[in-house]
Every structure is written in structure tokens, then in C-alpha cells.
Structure 1
Amino acid sequence: MSGIGESRSELLGWLNELLRLNYAKIEQCGTGAAYCQIVDSVYRDVPMHRVKFNATAEYEFLTNFKILQSAFTKHRLEKTILVERLVKCRFQDNLEFLQWLKKFWVQNKDESVYDAESRRKYRAPVHPGGYGNGSQSGPSSDNTGVTHGGSASAPTSVVKKRVNGTLRSSLSTSNTRSVAGLASRKSSSEQQVLSLQAKLSQAQGSLETTQKEVEQYREAIAIMERERDFYFGKLRDIEILSQSTKDLCKEGVYSSDPNELVRFLDKIQQILYATEEGFEVAADVINTNTKGSGSPSLNANNVAPSAMTDSWSQPAHNLITDEETF
């Protein structure tokens, strides 16, 4: 690739020959003037009368790089110009950028002859004593009123003060805007945090309510399971009693004495109203549901009246004993 890997002396020789300069070091390109004229040699539209070849201050370097950046933008060149590094006039940064420009020049320069000195528009010295730069045929002036040869129509200190004042004003305005932007972003962030905290508190409250409901459902399910086991135990006892009595009747152990039937029904009633500790049956309930025959009757739901406690289990005593069936 052309320009990439070329030595310092080769690049300086090409640069001085193209622009009619006598640069001795790559670092001198850090002023930005040579870069502007290399681009002008390709497109012929860079305002060279504004480029300062004898710039000595960093703010003058920045002016040259602004012109260069405008040319890159105009011709849509996507190369990034690291101005902050180049204006420090360090060797490596300027060497890499000059190599890239040499490659760009080789790829885009036509065969026409480029008159670098006429493009720079040199002017005759304005002072009798004559001030000049050894690298140029005469001093040139730009639109700031300062001649490139070293003499100025206005004191250099005044120009520097004006430029410094402008820079300070620009920096102050920039800092004010930055502070305002930071304050605005901080306020927005605080509002977002407060909104998230409110949503989190609401979610925590909803979670606590849900957990309480789940606990209530668990307790209700446990109570229903104990109630189910309690009544299942009663039904199981009645089933065993009925089956045993039926078997004994078939074997002829019991006669058809009505008293025996009464005893059988009393056993069923005892099973139906059997309770655990703390489980009581109101006497008036039993009396109300008991007919003249002495047998209990069920309520409208066919369930024996009872009062449940907090704990349920099978009856504490099985009323069927080994000594008798009922």
C-alpha cells in the first residue's frame, strides 16, 4: 500500500517536493498547514489564504485543523482526525496521519501540475526592514491581519488576549451547558428511582397480602382434611358394626328380640355422636332429633349435628369391643 511503511525521510522528501517547503521534521506537520495543502492539491478548493503556515500557537494550529476538517466533511472523507494528538506535534501521531494522507493522495490525485506557491498566495513584505522566513519566498498575510513573516499590523499580545478571551467565554458557556445537562439528567434519574421505589413498595404490599391469603387457604384445607378423616372414621365404624351384626344374625347368634335392635341402633348413635376432647354435643340437639322409638334422626343435610374444634382426627375410642358386637 502506497505511503504505509515509508520512512520519515521519504515522506519529508515527497512533502517538500509537492508543496515547495523545507520541513526538516515530521513534527512540523502538527501545525495542520501542510495537511490542508495536501488536500488542496487533490481538490483545489481549500481556502489556502486562511491557512497559517507560520503558526506558532496552539490556537492557530486549531484554526488550520478546522479548515482541514471542513474539507473532509465537504468531500465526505470518513477518516477521523485526532486533532488533540496532532496539535501536540508528536512524531508518531503525525507520522501515521501523514502516511494516510500520502496513500489518499496517490489514490485520488490526477496528473495535472499543482503550483503550491501560487495557491498559498504569497504577498510582498509590508515593512521597510523586510521580515521573512527562510522556508518561504516572502511573508503572506491572512484575514486576521497578522503577517506570516513574523511582523503584525496589530500587537501580538492584543491578538492573543482577544483569542484567549474568546476561548474562555466559549469554555464558560460549554461548562454552563454541561452543568445544566448534568443537573437535568440527575433530576430525571432521581424521578425514575422514586418511581421504581413506589412500584416496589406496592409490589411488596401486594405480595404480603397474597401470602396471608395463601396461609388462610392452607389452614382451611388442613381443617377440611381433618374433618374428612373424622367423618370417614365414623362411617368406617358403622360399616364394621353393620357387617359384624349381619354375620352374627346369619349364624343365629341373635334372636329377633326388639331390644337387640334397639341396642344396635344405640351403638350407631354412639358412633355418630362420638367426640374428641373438647368436642361437645348440646343435649337439646340430641333430644330434638330423637323420636319416641329412641333412635336418632338426621338433620336436613343428613349429617349428625356436631360442633367442630380446631383439630380433627378419628374418634378416640372405637365403640366396637372384643366382648360384644354392640
Structure 2
Amino acid sequence: MSGIGESRTELINWLNGLLHLNYKKIEECGSGAAYCQIMDSIYGDIPMHRVKFDGTAEYEFQTNFKVLQGSFAKHHIEKTVYVEKLIRCRFQDNLEFLQWLKKYWVQNKDESFYDPEARRKHRPINSGHPTPGGTSINISKRSTSGSSIGFGSNGTASNSLGSRSSSYGLSRRVPSDQLVKLQDDLSQATLRITSLNKEIGTYKEAMNIMERERDFYFGKLRDIEILVQSTQDLIKEGIYNAGGGDLSKVLNKVQQILYATEDGFEVNQEDGQMLDQETAVQDDNQRSVRAFRRETAQDVPAHNLITDEETF
């Protein structure tokens, strides 16, 4: 029953000697850091980088007791720990828990050497009396109706520590190197967007030039088509002399060139009719154009409309 009934002085001396601390009062154990390292001295598996020996805020004490909870659950230690009372740094509550913990240490600690400062990585320790009520962090009012943590052999806890952590409104800081990387990515993305916008402007300008050239040459071809159609109409009416059919032959060849299509390409008749209605000279010329297309559609060769043997 070692540890039960020991005085505060004996417990403080044992704690300071074991962990190389400089605690003056039992109440200082309310931060939970010393409790975590006592368990580490037994099993050597406590994540000491998570234990806050210099903590002064109540949320930091909560973190330490969560580490202690993980150790109890891992080693199947059945002990009810009244966290709400301990983190208030009350003498009697921490005295009783430290007495129990020393008893457990005596029963389970082996003879192996333990270096507490090396395990803490020589981090500074807050040797003053913890005063969570005087910290600058606003802590919501707690309900004291028997709230506790039960550490059972199945590793589960019956407390609401996790649910209360959101009430502290702690902010998470983004690491500086991550922030610099994000800024670099943003700068590169901005430069890329600017470059793409310039390319889009160049393509638009080139497209406008190509559309103007298309309209220019299409107008010339349309003028030739109207001239050919009008001349053929005048020949049919007897106003022009065909000259032995040479002129009619020339006009027919020009029309074959104008109306020739590539393989696999078909002219939409509706589109052709709309184009005729918008750009034909008059209704008579439009009817002549459609009649000529029907008469010559089957005679139009697919390729090489003008051969070397043909002359005009």
C-alpha cells in the first residue's frame, strides 16, 4: 500500500526526484504533465512531444489528460479519473490521485534506468502554480454534476472531453512554409492565366483577319457566279452571240468549277436557296441558277474539271 497516506512533502520529493522537476505544491500536478511522465517512466511509450510541461491554459491541461487517457486505455488500466476536478488544481483531488499513481508505479516499475530530461527533450517546465482561471482564454462554464472519465479495460471513456474542446474556439495556424508555397502557386497560376489571355487575344485577332479574307474572296466568287448566270441568260435571249458555242462552253466550265464539291461533302439545298435569295440579282436570275444546277448536277466530274486537252 505504498503511496497511500503519504504526506504531501514525501510525494513532492519523490516526484521531483523521479522526474527532475521543481514542483513546490501538489496543486501543480493538476496540469497532467507529471502524471503523463510517471506513466512514461513505467512503460516508456508516452508521446512526450504532445505533453505540455509549460502549459498554463486549461485547454493545454485537457490535452495532457487525453494523452494520459490513451496510455490507460493501451495498458488496460481500470481507473476513474476525475479530470474536471484535477485540472482545477485542487489540493485534495490531486493528492489522492498522486498517491494512487505512486502505488501503481511501485507495483509496475522495473529496474531499468529512466532519463526524464532526455524524454522531455530538455524542454522548459512551468514551475509556477497553474492558474487556469487567470489565463487569457475564455473558458465556458462547466457543469460539475459528477463529470468524470472512466478508463476501462476496453479502452473506452465515459466523458465528454472531446465534445467540450470545440467550446474553446482555438485557432489553427497555417505553417509559414506552407503559406509560402501557396503564394508561389498562386503567382504561377496568375502568370499562366495572363499568358493564356494573351494567346486567346492573338487567336481572336487571327480569326477576325481570316473571316475578313473569307468574306472578301467569297464576294469575288459570288460576283463571278452572277456574271456567268447573267451572261447565259442574255445568250439564251439572243442578245449576245455565242460565237459558235465557245462562250457558252467557257461559261459552263466556270460554273462547273464554282459548283464543284469535295468527296463526302454535300451542299445543303436549303442553305443554297437562302443564299440565292439574299444575294441573287433578281428573281429571274435565281430561277436560271436553280435550273442550271439541276441540269448539270449529274455531269459534274469529281476531280480535274479542266484537263490539259480542253481549251477555251
Q: Give the shorter-chain TM-score range.
A: 0.3 to 0.5
- Identify which of structures 1 and 2 has the higher relative contact order when contacts are C-alpha pairs closer than 8 Å and 6+ apart: 2
